[in-house]
Amino acid sequence: MGSLEARLRGAWQGRVSGCMLGKAVEAYSMTQGHEKLTEYLGAVDALPLRDYIPFADEPPPLLLASCCRGRFEASEPDDDVNYSVLALGMLEQHGAALATTDVARTWLMKLPVGMTFTAERAAFKTLLANAHEWFAMGAEPGFDLALCSDNEFNDWIGAQIRADVYGWVAPGNPALAARLARADADLSHRGDGVHGAVVVAAWGAAIPEAGDLGSALDAALAEIPAESGAAAAVELGRKTALAGEGAEAIHREYADLSPVHTNNNLALVVWALLSHPDDFGAAIGDVVAAGWDTDCNGATVGALWALQQKPVPEAWTAPWQGRIKATLAGQGELALDDLVARTVAVTERLAEAR
């Protein structure tokens, strides 16, 4: 297996494994809070979190049994993975020329509105209410697409979870990754909502050729405004990791934010990755145990960690057996091998086009 294929296989493995770990407690974490999450993990002897989460004999409400240890043979459908598959398809069709208009058309043709949330749902409603009848088939939008991002959730985490693949396919080219991530994010987000997506994509692009995660993160930061809230979140996550501290300082700083805001979750992602550059289980385990948007953060940390070309342990990948479920038009279950081959092909085409 070549180094490119191995790296991209790891990215998919890391993203799916981290997502599955966090998905088990996503709703519980967001509705009950970090203290209750910690209480549950302690009660099932899962702290520190280094394996899939056990399902208690008398579980609390909103714990997702189908993502708990020993209860699945394929990954469960999730919007984090949907968007990665969607991004791959858009890159296959449009390559480096991907534009926000292409993203909007793809949503209308491929993305079930029932699997969108917050900013994406709001953007979808605006599209349906205003777009030309034949826009999805290639006509002009018929209105200013910027209206789609004029919503109350446009600095939340949605764009950040859609950005990973744009970094995977642009190794050594964080500027290209950033441009692709913006083209996607601009449909539904503004400000820090876009900046968080850019950081994730550009960091992923920089990792393969950087000396370490910190240097790659510097390259990603160069793609967003230094005075932005997202940049401050990155620096808080870095500072906390370098101090060898837990996530308490991040929780204090962002106590008033939504659990699905961009900045608080971005800070956790940076903290977990820089705290555990050599331990996959610790990186995804700690970011999930830290709460807020657990599946999104587990997925992002898992993929970025694997881009270092360090193997994702089999204990994390064996339970879902290379079977990845999705809820996109015409796509119910996908094979890891096929996704890897397609991602390699896109990466090679983009490199040839430079």
* Chain centre to alpha carbon of residue 309: 18
Write phi, then psi, for 258 (nearest 5 degrees).
Answer: -60, 145
* Chain centre to alpha carbon of residue 248: 22
**Model pLDDT, residue 130:** 98
Buried b (16+ CB within 10 A) or exposed e, 66-95: ebbeebbebbbbbbbbbbbbbbbbbbeebe
- Tell me which H or E stretch contains 194: helix 192-206
Handedness of CA 287, 293, 297, 299 (dihedral sign): positive
* Chain centre to alpha carbon of residue 201: 9
CA separation for the pair 192, 202 (Å, rounded): 15
CA separation for the pair 94, 252 (Å, rounded): 42
CA separation for the pair 116, 124 (Å, rounded): 8
Buried b (16+ CB within 10 A) or exposed e, 331-341: beebebeebbe
- Tell me which H or E stretch contains 201: helix 192-206
Peptide bond into 48 cis (omega under 30): yes
Do 316 and 13 contact (CB within 8 A), yes or no? Answer: yes
CA separation for the pair 210, 174 (Å, rounded): 11
CA dihedral 69, 72, 74, 76 (to 10 degrees): -90
CA dihedral 37, 38, 44, 46 (to 10 degrees): 110
**Model pLDDT, residue 354:** 79
CA separation for the pair 207, 174 (Å, rounded): 9
Q: What is the pLDDT of residues 204-246, one digit of tens each?
A: 999 999 989 999 999 999 999 999 999 999 999 999 999 999 9
Counting Cα atoms < 13 Å in the Cβ hemisphere of 334 gives: 26
CA separation for the pair 50, 320 (Å, rounded): 17
Q: Centre a 10 Å sphere on the Cβ of residue 244 and count the other Cβ atoms it contains.
A: 7
Q: What is the pLDDT of residues 35-45, one digit of tens each?
A: 999 999 999 99
CA separation for the pair 304, 174 (Å, rounded): 14
Note the residue count of the chain: 354
List the pLDDT tens digit at each of the 354 positions of the chain. Answer: 679 999 999 999 999 999 999 999 999 999 999 999 999 999 999 999 999 999 999 999 999 999 999 999 999 999 999 999 999 999 999 999 999 999 999 999 999 999 999 999 999 999 999 999 999 999 999 999 999 999 999 999 999 999 999 999 999 999 999 999 999 999 999 999 999 999 999 999 999 999 899 999 999 999 999 999 999 999 999 999 999 999 999 999 999 999 999 999 999 999 999 999 999 999 999 999 999 999 999 999 999 999 999 999 999 999 999 999 999 999 999 999 999 999 999 999 999 987
Among 19, 65, 56, which residue's Cα sits nearest to residue 288?
A: 19
- Which tokens is 258 given? 């939504």
- Which tokens is 11 given? 């990215």
At 132, is the secondary structure helix, strand, or coil? coil
Among 189, 203, 272, which residue's Cα sits nearest to residue 11?
A: 203
**Model pLDDT, residue 1:** 60
Question: What's the DSSP call for residue 58?
Answer: S
